[in-house]
Structure 1
Amino acid sequence: MSNPIYEALPPEAALELEQIARLIYESREHRRKVLDAVGAEDESTLLERIVRGDIGEHPAYEHYLAARILGDTHEAARQVMAATLKEVNR
């Protein structure tokens, strides 16, 4: 690995952590782009705007679902990262 962050780790762990870090970054950035596309700061705000009729249900609801899935993916990946780091640092 060329990244010094991973040099002290066993190769398998370094590769796994690098992939998880990438997933964390990509899910966060894609969520941001989805929400930016409809001018919402978060999923709950977007859903409120849909319910009030401020924004058309289609495709806004698909954006809402995508943002929720990406947010959930981001959080799950963060939890996996924490558990993996805890295991590696034993």
Structure 2
Amino acid sequence: MDPLYDALPPDDAEQVQRFSRLMYESREHRRTVLEAFGANSPEALLARIKAAEVAEHPAYEHYLAARILGDTHEIARTEVARILQEVNAR
């Protein structure tokens, strides 16, 4: 395990490490999905779909995937913050 987690209790360190990995993977996959359509955000991709700059199919599915990946990233961040707050309160 990365030395960054040495100050945390083992169970908490494991959880933080898993959520950190999820944060990284969801962020990178979201970026990859959006780049495939020349967009830097789900909103930008949706705008390109509405303007008929890209084909609705499969772009809309990619838009939904980017939204889900963004939500997953935020949930993981929230969980890391919650765990660290609990550890600091002990």
* TM-score normalised by L of structure 2: 0.95
Q: Give the match's secondary structure for 1:89.
A: helix
- 1:44 is aligned to 2:43: yes
Superposed, which structure 2 residues align to 1:28-43 within 5 Å? Answer: 28-43=27-42
Q: Residue 11 of structure 1 aligns with which residue?
A: 10
Alpha-carbon offset, residue 52 of structure 1: 1.1
Output the aligned Cα RMSD.
0.7
Q: Residue 69 of structure 1 aligns with which residue?
A: 68
Q: Residue 54 of structure 2 aligns with which residue?
A: 55
Alpha-carbon offset, residue 85 of structure 1: 0.5
**Where in structure 1 do 4 or more consecutive aligned residues deviate above 6 Å?**
none
Q: Structure 1, residues 20-53: CA drift from partner, whole Å, max 9, x if none?
A: 1000000000000000111101111100110111
Letter of the 1:42 counterpart: S
* TM-score normalised by L of structure 1: 0.95
Distance 2:7 2:42 in 1: 38
Show structure 1 runs of 5+ residues with no match: none
Distance 2:43 2:6 in 1: 40
